[in-house]
Structure 1
Amino acid sequence: MPTRVLVPSGVLGLGFDRTALARGVAMRPDIIAIDGGSTDSGPFSLGAGQSKYARAATKSEWRDLMLARAEAGVPLVIGTAGTCGADATVDWMFDITAELARELGQTLRVARLYSSQTADTVTRALGEGRIIPLTPAPEISPETLASMTNIVALAGAEQIQAAIDTGAEIIIAGRTTDTATIAALPLARGDHAGAAWHGAKIAECGALCSTNPTSGVIVVDFDDSGFTVEAMHETALCTPHSVSAHMLYENTDPFILYEPGGHLDVTRARYTALDARRVRVEGSEWVAGRYTVKLEGARIAGYQTTIMAILRGAHYAAHARDWVAKLATFLTDTISRRMGLAPDSYSLDFRLIGVDGALGPLENRTGHPVEVGVLGIVTAPTQGIAAEIGKLINPFVLHYPLTEDEELPTFAFPYSPATTDRGALYEFALNHVMDLSDPMQAFRLTVTEVGA
């Protein structure tokens, strides 16, 4: 019997079509699997241990999935819960689950798979030679590891299988690879290993592998020789092109995908349209290797204050780069004289929205904007210093003249005060893998009954 996996969306909190979900449930899946996050939005979620997505949106969608799970009578699993998969966000997701179970009158066995690592654990592994850098990777030491606010290891299929084996109806996993929650059950049932990992890669973002990416819901059937993928929305079609193209998504090599315990090779994969909606894939290979798990870590890199002004006058809009270059030089000298801060003890960066807001000095296209937004970003060792610099530069950002012989300008600003204290700035500080002697060595499982 094939193993049927229902994937409602690429991530919980982004939305999915409810009619398509109902169609998927009617196909009697063996498991419902969804991702809960990624590193796409930068290091803040991991650094702060917070979800990127609103609790209300998460709860609303999770409610639908808990109802779908009850109707299908199968496990529901989420990986990388709360965007970053830290222990705090696993517990955040557990609280939402327990709350919904009470509201829905459901009694549930919930397994929590924890992925967070202590600095001491990783330091010991470093001393034992079990930490291997990827490319590029920052230098790490016991001191840098101790400075990290959160470290997580990316679980693979084996850890999800251990959670499934508890008999839990719902599994809330910490940081996992995007494919692990989908590949786990097909692998446990003895389906083709290459197909399990390849199909999981194709399905990781839901209907992104179809002609209607925002519809969310897909179903994948795994068996002993390959997999078949079908989108559930009536306007979403899976084609050989849309399916094969997803190997390029977030992957440096369109043929190789590394996972804990080996890698997927799709060089010989064949994509065949079974009809207008379904694609069959065979020929994928799984190559076993060392059992390593990727590590992610984040730490505070400073504290920020921002300031925003808008250049509307044609003279200033046309010469915005010249103006901001002159302003930056003036402000560096002013901060040094008035606050006694050396330029290398903080950073002051200006981005011109409409000119080079995305690329900064790398921008090579020019135009004639009607107005230019000036975003100033102050980064300093403490929030107090960043805020003080922001207040010091405030009047100059709003009134600094381009030339000495013109009237003092006044620029627009969209809110008052013009400065905003952003708090901690986080940076990724690990790009390494950790060698494990046992897949559960770096992970912990807790099983709890919740609900009515």
Structure 2
Amino acid sequence: MGKETLRIISPNGHLGFAPTKEGSFYIGAATHPDYYCCDSGSDDIGPVPLGMDKCASHPDWQYHDLELMLLAAREQGVPMIIGSAGDTGTNSRVDMYVDMIRDMAKKHGLKKFKLAYFYSEVDKEYLRRKMLAGEKIEGLNSRSDLTIEELDATTRIVAVAGVHPFIKALEMGADVIIGGRTSDACVFASAAIYEGFPENIAYYTGKVLECASFCCEPYGAKESVIGTITKDDVKVTAMAPFQRCTIASVAGHAMYERTNPYYEYVAGGCLDMSECKYEQFDEKTCRITNPKFIPIDGRIKVKLEGSGFVGKRYMGLAGIRDPYTIQNIDKVIDWARSQVAERHPNDKYELSYRIFGKNGVMGDLEPIKETKSHELLVVVEGVADDDKLAEEVTLIGMRQIFYARLPEVKGTAGTAAFILDEVTKISDAYTWTMDHTVEVDDPLELFPVSMIEIGE
């Protein structure tokens, strides 16, 4: 405790989603940062990985990124913090990362160190009891309060942790922390708050570091950046030789993704960036001062993310070059839909068409009046409760593009759809069922922290 400055390296905006670039990482590691921190998950990947309890990222890439960080952090004797393990932060993904760390320690003969981990999954019955007792599970982003029907339709739920389980683990003496689902900024903010820095600086540090080199120019992902903080400011520096952190790149990154670009809601309050001052500190560094943190008093609320199973899913592709067919593509799709409905009038299924190249853009839903596109790609997806039905509706929906009955077509003169002759089974379909908050008595209530020793 009592550091005048704190330096945190962020090597990757989403650990393992694509491999960390080693060059800039080693440049940053050579400066001996105080913490190695990285976020490893996001709901940007959609509801499928959470529902299926699997990764969206390749395991070798995740192993690679964890190994880079672990070896550097253990060599230098400083903490390493990972949030949202394995993309979703489910219990199995946390266990996977713990096993990877254990394997790396054995592989490299690392001396004993303390590894803390916490889970984030929430039992549906925990929420059901609260709801039956009259508690509201409040919706976010215009969602209504959670209903029992929505809860029943949910396959898997994770709670989104704030800084609290990480701080608890650091207080327990953890050298490495593997976290379940976590608010991105809190992975970094927890280290700063633990070290005694004010919340406004800590949370801004998390916001600017969470996506690593996305706050740099020119654009280049998976490069390392370092945040250097005092009680009064944050300085963020690009490690890649070709990048720098500028007023424009850092301010732009801080303000993206939100309806109100100046506010970021984090655990326990709101980060207010409306009065932030940005200045160019040196060629590769931007300095930020005057972020504000507005604490939210009273009830402690934790965000919940839930994913529910929709059905088995298949995909087919159709390519079209005939100008007349392109001009009448909406009628073609209507015909294909009608043929599926004719064969399966009472079956429950979903059939979707995504058109690439229509009006020069992807997925334009307006009818074509005039187009310069010379070819279209139609992606057909069918979803149903079982594989057999899902496969058939997709196959019919794809092949009937070729058989569409358009006016003015004589014989086969106008048909010109190239159809791949098979459809492919892809991941099951899931939907977001839960974007809500639950009230808790203790911010650690849903995030039990465990500690083990690893190494020789």
Is TM more than 0.5 here? yes
Which aligned pairs between 1:130-145 and structure 2 lie closer than 5 A? 131-145=137-151
Q: What is the Cα deviation at residue 27 of structure 1?
A: 2.0
Q: Kindly indicate whether residue 162 of structure 2 is the aligned counterpart of residue 156 of structure 1.
A: yes
The answer on 1:198 being equivalent to 2:204 is: yes
Tell me the amino acid that sits aligned with residue 43 of structure 1: P
Query: Structure 2 unaligned runs (5+)?
Result: none
Give the 3-state SS of the residue equivalent to 1:430 in structure 2: strand
Closer/same/farther in 2, CA of residues 328 and 254 from structure 1, 3 Å limit: same
What are the equivalent positions in structure 2 for 1:119-138 lying under 5 Å apart? 119-126=124-131, 127-129=133-135, 131-138=137-144
Query: What are the within-5 Å matches in structure 2 for residues 239-318 of structure 1?
Result: 239-289=246-296, 290-318=299-327
What secondary structure, in the 3-state scheme, does the structure 2 residue paired with 1:429 have?
Answer: strand
Q: 1-side partners of 2:32 and 2:435: how far apart?
A: 40
Flag the 1:91–1:365 CA change in 2: closer, same or farther, 3 A.
farther
Instruction: Render the CA deviation track for 1:225-269: whole Å, top value 9, x for unaligned.
Output: 121111111221111121111122222222111111111112221
Q: Residue 156 of structure 1: CA displacement?
A: 0.7
CA contact (8 A) 1:298 1:430 kept: yes
Residues 52-63 of structure 1: pairs in structure 2 closer than 5 A: 52-63=56-67
Using structure 2 for the length normalisation, give the TM-score.
0.91
Cα distance in 2, alignment partners of residues 52 and 202 from structure 1: 24
Shift of residue 315, structure 1, vs aligned partner: 3.3
What pairs with 1:30-429 in structure 2 (closer than 5 Å)?
30-106=34-110, 107-126=112-131, 127-129=133-135, 131-212=137-218, 213-214=220-221, 216-289=223-296, 290-336=299-345, 340-341=346-347, 345-355=348-358, 358-362=362-366, 367-393=371-397, 395-403=399-407, 405-407=410-412, 409=415, 411-414=417-420, 416=421, 418-429=422-433
Distance 2:367 2:116 in 1: 49
How many pairs align?
Answer: 444
Q: Which residue among 15, 18, 22 is the counterpart of 1:18?
A: 22
Q: Return the alpha-carbon distance in structure 1 between the equivalents of residues 222 and 42 of structure 2.
A: 20
Structure 1 contact 101–108 (Cα < 8 Å) conserved: no
Instruction: Provide the secondary structure at the position in 2 that maps to 1:431.
Output: strand
Alpha-carbon contact 1:136-1:431 (below 8 Å) kept: no
Partner residue of 1:9 out of 8, 12, 23:
12
The alignment partner of 1:237 has SS state of coil
Aligned-residue RMSD, C-alpha: 2.3
- TM-score of the superposed pair, with normalisation by structure 1: 0.91
| Structure 1: gaps spanning 5 or more residues | none
SS of corresponding position for 1:406:
coil
Task: Output the CA distance in 1 between the equivalents of 2:397 and 2:333.
Answer: 12
Distance 1:395 1:283, change over 3 A: closer
Q: Secondary structure in 2 aligned to 1:274? A: strand
Structure with higher helix content: 1
Q: Distance in 1 between matches of 2:401 and 2:367?
A: 22
**Structure 1 contact 25–72 (Cα < 8 Å) conserved:** no
The 8 Å contact of residues 401 and 407 in structure 1, kept in 2 or not, is answered as no
Letter in 1 for 2:13: G
The percent identity for this pair of structures is: 25
Q: Which residue number corresponds to residue 446 of structure 2?
A: 442
Cα contact 1:305–1:422 (8 A) shared by 2: yes
Verify the 8 A CA contact 2:398 2:419 in the aligned structure 1: no
Worse-superposed segment, 397-406 or 262-271: 397-406
